[in-house]
Amino acid sequence: MLEIKNLRVSVLDIDDSEILKGIDLTVKTGEVHAIMGPNGSGKSTLANVLMGRTEYVITEGDILYDGESIIDLLPEKRAHLGMFLAFQYPAEIPGVRPWQFLKAALDAKADSRGEEKMSIRDFSKLFDEKVEAVGINPQLVKRSLNEGFSGGEKKRNEMLQLEVLQPELAILDETDSGLDVDALRIVAHGVNSMRSPERSFIIVTHYQRLLNYIKPDVVHILVEGKIVKTGGPELALDVEKDGYKQYTSVGASA
């Protein structure tokens, strides 16, 4: 599904700004991977680069999606392929209603794949179902996208979009940050209910606690732009117990 090969990434137009220093990672169809790391390790950068954010420049390596390189594709093209990024800080968009925006997104995807667009009636039905499933206040989605939403409501809204767009690879960028336990459960429920042999997830997180609710197949520890350790779910528990220090250059030499 996704292969990241020796990926090196810097910030555009800034010298000596290398953030990712040779990442190798393979996510197979149906797998859930967790990428854990301390602040500043580059995990959010990785999530954004996968989705095509162009403030970053790839200096070396490649990203393959279903065997094809996607590093020259625009963000919208990656979405059409089936990729999805749930944002750490979803943008507030005044005047844009979630319904209208999601319909536009689905239409664009259908267009690009040469599929028939969903009728307004069918879409409406789907939307209402998903609103209920995600437990988002129906009044809220009639208003501007994310405007005045609480942190939890924004995350629910990200889950709503995930449910409606039904991506094949969903990347969650610190979706758990700033969430209370109830909201965490909602995110976890969203992911778990969508988990299937045809869908993969990459869950980027600082803390282990989300992984209490979503059991990953593989856990990677990302430190200082490199994956320093890969293992099973038990790896997350080690982090919980001993922190990241054991993996940092300072910590390791200490």
Partner 1 sequence: MTLAAPPTSVEKYAAAFESLSDSGTPDWLIATRLQAWANFSELGIPTARRGNELWKYTNLRPLADAGFEYGQIGPVSLDQIKSAGPWDDAWDTVVVVDGNFSAQLSSLNGTPGLTAGSLGEAIAAGTDNLESQFASLAGRENYAFTALNTAFAADGAYIGIAADTRLTTPVHVVFVTSDPTSSRATYPRLLISASSNSSLTIVESYINLSESSQLTVPVTEVFSDHDSQIRHYRIQIENEKSFHIGTARVNQKAGSSFTSTSFATGALIGRNDVHTQLDEPGAECTLHGLYMTSGQQQQDQEISTTHARPNCTSHQFYKGILSGKSHAVFSGKVVVERDAQKSVANQKDLNLMLSRGARIDAKPSLEIFADDVKCAHGATAGHVDRDTLFYLRSRGVDEETAKAILIRGFADEMLDEFEPAALREFVERTTDDRIATLLAESDTLGTV
> Which residues contact partner 1 (rule: CB under 8 A)?
51-55, 74-76, 78-80, 84-85, 87, 90-96, 100-102, 104-106, 108-109, 112, 144, 161, 165
Tell me the H-state helices in 28-169.
43-51, 75-81, 98-112, 120-134, 151-165
Rounded Cα distance, 254 and 250, in Å: 6
Instruction: Please give the torsion angle defined by the CA atoms of residues 172, 133, 179 and 202, in that order, rounded to the nearest 10 degrees.
Output: -10
- Beta carbon nearer to partner 1, 74 or 252: 74
Q: Cβ of residue 107: shortest distance to partner 1, in angstroms?
A: 9
- Beta carbon nearer to partner 1, 92 or 122: 92
- Beta carbon nearer to partner 1, 85 or 227: 85
Q: Cβ of residue 48: shortest distance to partner 1, in angstroms?
A: 8
- Beta carbon nearer to partner 1, 5 or 80: 80
Q: Cβ of residue 75: shortest distance to partner 1, in angstroms?
A: 4
- Beta carbon nearer to partner 1, 105 or 228: 105
Q: Cβ of residue 68: shortest distance to partner 1, in angstroms?
A: 18
Rounded Cα distance, 74 and 82, in Å: 13
Residue of 127, 149, 201 lying closest to 170 (CA atoms): 201
Q: How far apart are the first and last CA of the chain?
A: 39
Rounded Cα distance, 44 and 61, in Å: 18
Q: What phi, psi does 80 have (nearest 5°)?
A: -65, -30
Q: Cβ of residue 76: shortest distance to partner 1, in angstroms?
A: 5
